[in-house]
Structure 1
Amino acid sequence: MRPADQGGRERYLDAALSVLLDRGVPGLTVRGVAEAAGASTLSVYARFGGRAGLLDALYERTFDSLRELLEGLPPSSRDGVADLLHLALEYRHFARESPTRYALMFERPVPGFDPDPGLRSAVLRTTFTLFIARVQRVCPPGADARSAAYRLWTAMHGLVGAELMMASRRPLPDWFIPPTEEANEQMYRDGVTAMMAGLGLRNP
């Protein structure tokens, strides 16, 4: 792809991400993205082939954002467990920063949209390789780091997913924890720490 074409594509993806963050999934139409980019709907079709192609490209962009966050974490220290907990807390912040973006990555908020299988495999592999590497450093000898990383991620995903779901509705007075940022962060921290301990993840 020529630099000019790549720049044009990025312009549309920036517009699509802006629409997603500002208007949510209902705004993710070819017309809505074209308007946000200050362009015609025909130009969106020319670059992405339609809404499905645009959504695939936006799906890839959202995972790029998560990968960039993981790549930007501080270098590994002697305390690999603390490093992994820091990663988990940054992951929670990423999800809370934009629940709509997070839903596009891990749920099915757009009816009928199923990302291309090859694309899904590529973005998950590229992004989660960084996560697995952090888990590998604290795995006990002989343990399967990929399996441990998956179990830890499902705990992280479940905790933050429940938090986002509850935050989107009126608070319940008799819920497990108070509807506050402090209580939710502590529950997440405790849950992740417990899962790490249960998996036997520890500093060598």
Structure 2
Amino acid sequence: MRPAEQGNRERFLDAALAVLFDRGVTGLTVRGVAEEAGASTISVYARFGGREGLLDALYERTFESLRQVLEDLPPASPDGVADLLHLALEYRLFARESPVRYALMFERPVPRFDPDPALRSTVLRTTFTLFIARVQRVCPPEADAREAAYQLWTAMHGLVGAELMLASRTPLPDWFIPPTEEANEGMYRRGVSAMMTGLGLRNP
């Protein structure tokens, strides 16, 4: 792809992400993205083939954002367990930054949108390879690091998913977790730490 074409594609994807952040899934239309980019709907169709292609490209971009978060983590320290907990906390912040983006990645907020299987395989493998590498450092020799990473991720995903669901609704006055950042982060931190302990993840 020529630099100018790549630049135009990125401009549309930036616009699509802005629409997703500001207007949610309902605003994520070809027309909405074109208006945000200051372009015509025809130009969006020309580059992505329609809403389905645009959604596939945006799905890929969201995973690139998560991969960037993982790549930007501080270099590995002697305390691999602390490093892994830091990764988990950054993952939570990524989800909280845009629940709609997070939902596009891991749920089905757009009716009938099913990302291309080859694309899904690529982005998941590329992103979670970085996660598995962090788990590998603290994984017992007899354990499967990929399996441990998957189990830890499902715990992280479940904890942050429940937090996002509760945050999207009117707070319950008698709920045992106060609706504060401190309380929610503490619950998440304790849950992830317990899962890591249960999986036997420890420093060599």
TM, length-normalised to structure 2: 0.99
Superposed CA offset, 1:89-145 (max 9, x none): 000000000101001000100011000000000000000000000000000112100
Letter in 2 for 1:97: E
- The aligned counterpart of 1:121 is 121
Task: Work out the number of aligned pairs and report it.
Answer: 204
Q: CA deviation at 1:53?
A: 0.1
Letter in 2 for 1:28: L
Q: CA deviation at 1:176?
A: 3.2
Q: CA deviation at 1:180?
A: 1.1
Equivalences for 1:77-156 in 2 at 5 Å?
77-156=77-156
- The aligned counterpart of 2:66 is 66
- The aligned counterpart of 2:33 is 33
Q: CA deviation at 1:66?
A: 0.2
Paired with 2:140 and 2:38, the residues of 1 have a C-alpha distance of: 54
Paired with 2:164 and 2:57, the residues of 1 have a C-alpha distance of: 25
* Structure 1 spans left out of the alignment, 5+ residues: none
Paired with 2:109 and 2:65, the residues of 1 have a C-alpha distance of: 19
Paired with 2:91 and 2:100, the residues of 1 have a C-alpha distance of: 15
TM, length-normalised to structure 1: 0.99
Alpha-carbon RMSD across the aligned residues, in angstroms, is 0.5
Paired with 2:130 and 2:5, the residues of 1 have a C-alpha distance of: 29
* Structure 2 spans left out of the alignment, 5+ residues: none
